[in-house]
């Protein structure tokens, strides 16, 4: 069988078309063709099945080659267009090429036609690939910009939420159990928790959430969620899991991988309101250089594939192009935050992987996630942290926090638990307090992101003079001063904002009761 080729002829003479068809078939093309000779039939043909190329005469009773070119460029800008005329002057031909035609040939020299078509098909494919790469780059840049914005918003919100949640907890501790005000405090606390979850999703989407990656077997992760997934999607949807034996291992946060699977399953359920089929599949995969070119900045190599497919309503091309953007949703108003797939995107990217969507309206959707394969044994977990039996303390704590409301909350909580507290508004003030304070300072509690001097720089400077002092870092937006791709440096004591009073007190006792380890060297500020 020859090479398939779909040709749209704009020509009033059928004999001329048959000559061109015979020439192309003689050169190995398996031809499908149609002939039109007026504007409206041309527009109708362009709206139909896809064409590989247009071959147009120059002078026809109802249409000129220039007019045909204009119609084609308006409908399909990338469709190759070759002028094929019996008698066209060089000046006219050059003018048509300048207007956007890809080439011109004389009908008396049809031997050149197959070569010209091969060249134009190659050029058209290169243009499509180039445009696709440009669009992928723009999409990545847009997602990175949105991520930076979302991360900054999450930082400010987490400072505010620390105060809302923290002061609500303090008030709850002070109120009698039978106080009529207790229910109001409870609702404030619930709203704070919901807002904290939203900001956590923003941090995940911006790839700034603190994570605990482990070497995982995705088969075990999916199998462990089977009962939960069946409850979530309901009895009308058939769940099928297809596991590849000998599946390679990946390195990722297990909680985040469960969230990815759950978000995609919920998304699939909502696309199948009447019933349907949800399939979760794993497989080993090799992404080669050709795949990397098709999908943008992808590193070729061994991967593990996690595919989630549904038989739901599907999505059009416009929706697919924006599906991973935050607050973009196909659900009804009030039915979702629009962060589910943006969170999936952030988790996969933070884990070093890639996610692509394939969808067809009325047929269904498949999300394909590729995570880098690692040659390491499965990590079965880490020992639980020792249980903290007491929360009270008498040590001296230096608190450096530029956000006044968070500083006040932190100091009040620590004083309530018995600590002697030294508050500082920034790094310079904390350094001055340390130099003037005559007694031992047992612990530095510092925000990571502060003007002039970040928390890590402050800790390094103060421990030069006070080598026995320990440090706890707080942040609502982990910076690379402490966190590399969401993973804290080993030995770092870190507490994510927003925190609860009990959570802060418990963290202090864990640090103060543990042997001191040296602060890891800096250099990534």
Q: What is the CATH number of the domain that holds 108?
A: 3.40.50.2300
Q: Within this chain, do residues 72 and 157 fall inside the same structural domain, yes or no?
A: no
Does 521 reside within a domain?
no
If we measure between CA atoms, which residue out of 355, 404, 174 comes closest to residue 257? Answer: 355
Q: Which two tokens stand for residue 344?
A: 């999936």
Does 353 reside within a domain?
yes
Q: Within this chain, do residues 355 and 409 fall inside the same structural domain, yes or no?
A: no
Residue 394: predicted pLDDT:
94
Q: Within this chain, do residues 226 and 327 fall inside the same structural domain, yes or no?
A: yes
Does 262 reside within a domain?
yes
Q: Within this chain, do residues 409 and 335 fall inside the same structural domain, yes or no?
A: no
In 393-423, which positions are buried (b, 16+ CB within 10 angstroms) versus exposed (e)?
A: bebbbbbbbbbeebbbbbbebbeebebebbb
Ranges in the chain, pLDDT < 50: 333-334, 481, 484-487, 523-525
Q: Within this chain, do residues 146 and 199 fall inside the same structural domain, yes or no?
A: yes
DSSP 172-198: HHHS-TT-TTHHHHHHHHHHHHHHHHH
Q: Quickly count: other Cβ atoms within 10 Å of residue 473's Cβ.
A: 25
List beta partners, residue 484.
487
d(C-alpha 422, C-alpha 419), whole Å: 10
Residue 106: predicted pLDDT:
84
Q: Within this chain, do residues 230 and 331 fall inside the same structural domain, yes or no?
A: yes
Q: Within this chain, do residues 75 and 138 fall inside the same structural domain, yes or no?
A: no
Does 388 reside within a domain?
no
Residue 334: predicted pLDDT:
45
Q: Within this chain, do residues 242 and 357 fall inside the same structural domain, yes or no?
A: yes
Q: Tell me if 477 sits within 8 A of 202, measured CB to CB.
A: no
Q: Tell me if 67 sits within 8 A of 60, measured CB to CB.
A: no
If we measure between CA atoms, which residue out of 409, 407, 501, 504 comes closest to residue 169? Answer: 501
Does 525 reside within a domain?
no
CATH of the domain at 198: 1.10.287.130
Residue 409: predicted pLDDT:
94
Task: Kindly tell me the sign of the dihedral angle through the C-alpha atoms of 433, 435, 438, 443.
Answer: positive
Q: Within this chain, do residues 348 and 265 fall inside the same structural domain, yes or no?
A: yes
d(C-alpha 455, C-alpha 444), whole Å: 10
Q: Within this chain, do residues 195 and 235 fall inside the same structural domain, yes or no?
A: no
Q: Which two tokens stand for residue 250?
A: 């990946």
Question: Looking at 374, 404, 429, which one is the last position of a domain?
Answer: 374
Which domain covers residue 142, as residue numbers?
131-205
Write the CB contacts of 282 (distance below 8 Å, at least 6 apart in sequence). Answer: 218, 219, 222, 242, 243, 244, 247, 304, 305, 306, 307
Residue 304 DSSP one-character state:
E
Residue 523: predicted pLDDT:
41
Q: Tell me if 32 sits within 8 A of 6, measured CB to CB.
A: yes
Residue 45: predicted pLDDT:
93
Task: Kindly tell me the sign of the dihedral angle through the C-alpha atoms of 206, 211, 216, 219.
Answer: negative
Question: Looking at 172, 205, 238, which one is the last position of a domain?
Answer: 205
Does 84 reside within a domain?
yes
| Cα distances (angstroms) measured from residue 235 to each of 109, 232, 268, 272, 365 | 67, 9, 14, 12, 20
Q: Tell me if 455 sits within 8 A of 449, measured CB to CB.
A: yes
The count of domains in the chain is 4
Residue 517: predicted pLDDT:
61
Give every strand in the sheet of 420-424, ordered side by side.
Answer: 420-424, 396-400, 443-447, 470-475, 494-496
d(C-alpha 511, C-alpha 350), whole Å: 28
Q: Within this chain, do residues 25 and 142 fall inside the same structural domain, yes or no?
A: no
What stretches of 361-435 adopt beta strand conformation (E)? 364-374, 396-400, 420-424
Q: What is the CA radius of gyration of the chain?
A: 32
CATH of the domain at 300: 3.30.565.10
Q: Which two tokens stand for residue 88?
A: 């066209």
Does 387 reside within a domain?
no
What stretches of 76-138 adopt beta strand conformation (E)? 81-85, 103-106
| Strand, coil or helix: 509 | helix
Question: Looking at 110, 126, 142, which one is the last position of a domain?
Answer: 126
Strand-pair category, 470-475 with 494-496: parallel
Does 379 reside within a domain?
no
Residue 387: predicted pLDDT:
62
Q: Within this chain, do residues 185 and 229 fall inside the same structural domain, yes or no?
A: no
């Amino acid at each position: 069988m020859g090479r398939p080729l779909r040709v749209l002829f704009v020509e009033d003479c059928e004999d001329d078309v048959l000559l061109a068809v015979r020439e192309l078939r003689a050169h190995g093309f398996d031809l499908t063709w149609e002939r039109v000779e007026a504007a409206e039939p041309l527009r109708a043909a362009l709206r139909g099945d896809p064409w590989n190329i247009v071959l147009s005469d120059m002078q026809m009773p109802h249409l000129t080659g220039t007019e045909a070119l204009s119609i084609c460029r308006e409908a399909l800008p990338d469709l190759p267009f070759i002028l094929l005329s019996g008698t066209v002057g060089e000046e006219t031909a050059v003018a048509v090429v300048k207007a956007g035609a890809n080439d011109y040939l004389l009908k008396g020299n049809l031997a050149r036609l197959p070569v010209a078509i091969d060249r134009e098909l190659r050029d058209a494919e290169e243009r499509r690939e180039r445009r696709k790469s440009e669009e992928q780059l723009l999409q990545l840049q847009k997602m990175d910009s949105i991520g930076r914005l979302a991360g900054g918003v999450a930082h400010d919100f987490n400072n505010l939420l620390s105060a809302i949640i923290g002061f609500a907890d303090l008030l709850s501790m002070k109120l009698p159990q039978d106080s009529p005000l207790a229910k109001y405090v409870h609702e404030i606390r619930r709203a704070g928790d919901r807002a904290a979850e939203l900001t956590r999703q923003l941090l995940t989407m911006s790839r700034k959430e603190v994570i605990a990656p482990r070497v995982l077997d995705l088969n075990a992760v999916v199998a462990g969620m089977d009962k939960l997934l069946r409850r979530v999607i309901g009895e009308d949807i058939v769940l099928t899991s297809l596991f590849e034996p000998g599946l390679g291992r990946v390195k990722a946060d297990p909680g985040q991988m469960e969230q990815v699977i759950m978000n995609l399953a919920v998304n699939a359920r909502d696309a199948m309101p009447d019933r349907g089929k949800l399939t979760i599949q794993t497989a080993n995969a090799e992404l080669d250089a050709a795949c990397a070119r098709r999908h943008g900045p992808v590193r070729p190599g061994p991967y593990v594939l996690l595919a989630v497919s549904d038989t739901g309503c599907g999505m059009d091309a416009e929706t697919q192009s924006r599906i991973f953007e935050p607050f973009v949703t196909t659900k009804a108003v009030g039915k979702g935050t629009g962060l589910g797939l943006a969170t999936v995107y952030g988790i996969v990217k933070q884990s070093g992987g890639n996610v692509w969507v394939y969808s067809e309206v009325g047929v269904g959707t498949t999300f394909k996630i590729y995570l880098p394969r690692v040659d390491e044994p499965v990590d079965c977990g880490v020992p639980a942290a020792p249980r903290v039996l007491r929360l009270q303390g008498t040590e001296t704590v230096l608190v450096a926090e530029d956000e006044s409301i968070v500083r006040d909350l932190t100091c009040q909580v620590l004083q309530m638990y018995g600590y002697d507290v030294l508050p500082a508004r920034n790094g310079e003030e904390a350094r001055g307090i340390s130099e003037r304070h005559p007694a031992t300072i047992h612990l530095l509690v510092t925000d990571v992101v502060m003007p002039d001097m970040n928390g890590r720089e402050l800790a390094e400077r103060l421990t030069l003079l006070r080598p026995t002092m320990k440090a706890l870092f707080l942040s609502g937006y982990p910076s690379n001063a402490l966190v590399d791709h969401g993973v804290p440096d080993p030995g770092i004591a870190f507490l994510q904002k927003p925190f609860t009073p009990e959570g802060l007190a418990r963290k202090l006792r864990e640090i103060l009761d543990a042997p001191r380890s040296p602060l890891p060297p800096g250099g990534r500020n």
